[in-house]
Amino acid sequence: MRIKSKSIFYSTLLLLPAIVLLLAVNIVTAQTTAGISTQTEVAKASESKAGNLSAANTPVFTDYRGVRIGMSAEEVRSKLDRLKDAGPGQDFFVFSEHESAQIYYDEDKKVTAISVDYFGDKSKAPSSNAVLGVDLQAKQDGSMYQLNRYPEAGYWVSYNRTAGDNPIVTVTMQKI
């Protein structure tokens, strides 16, 4: 009887790799077939939305008080008043106790980044929809964050809202 159970055991051991191989081939075939249909569906969806793709990747927030990425420091200073501190690589503007902005420049004195801070509920900070084109879902603590890249425009835009009763909203755009 022992000899028979040993031979069954060894036969099963020999068949096990063949069974595993057969299952693996079936799984790979199923995934490949599913992948092909999924890729086809994605391609069809992309083709049907081709006109909307460029519109969807167009930034909503293109300037701050008329200041854009690539402007000269001279142009910025002529557009914005209330310059608090000027430097070779950065200007700091204070518009009220609820709003300030920092403008960053490269070595050619061209704007590379704009960062605006809105302090507290009375700041009249823009909504995420006004900045990013989408309504962000606040976390449990009330904070929000999202960064959208716009390679065709050459910059990214982020929206950041802190938690708490007196939130700080920071809107930043920076050259890519």
What is the rounded distance in angstroms from the CA atom of residue 59 to the CA atom of residue 89? 25
How many independent structural domains does the chain possess? 2
CATH of the domain at 117: 2.60.120
> Sign of the CA dihedral 154, 90, 81, 124?
positive
The string of DSSP letters for 71-119 reads: -BHHHHHHH---EEEE-SSEEEEEEETTEEEEEEE-TTSBEEEEEEEEE
Question: Is the same domain home to 44 and 99?
Answer: no
User: Would residue 56 count as lying in a domain?
Assistant: no
Question: Is the same domain home to 86 and 153?
Answer: yes
pLDDT of residue 55: 54
Q: Which residue has the higher pLDDT, 20 or 95?
A: 95
User: Would residue 21 count as lying in a domain?
Assistant: yes
Which pair of structure tokens corresponds to residue 143? 């904070």
User: Would residue 64 count as lying in a domain?
Assistant: no
Question: Is the same domain home to 7 and 89?
Answer: no
pLDDT (tens digit, 9 = 90+) per residue, 93-131?
A: 999 999 999 999 999 999 999 999 999 988 899 999 999
Question: Is the same domain home to 92 and 135?
Answer: yes
Which domain covers residue 42, as residue numbers? 2-48
| pLDDT tier at 56, thresholds 50, 70, 90 | low
Q: Which residue has the higher pLDDT, 55 or 131?
A: 131
User: Would residue 57 count as lying in a domain?
Assistant: no
User: Would residue 93 count as lying in a domain?
Assistant: yes
What is the rounded distance in angstroms from the CA atom of residue 123 to the CA atom of residue 143? 16
User: Would residue 78 count as lying in a domain?
Assistant: yes
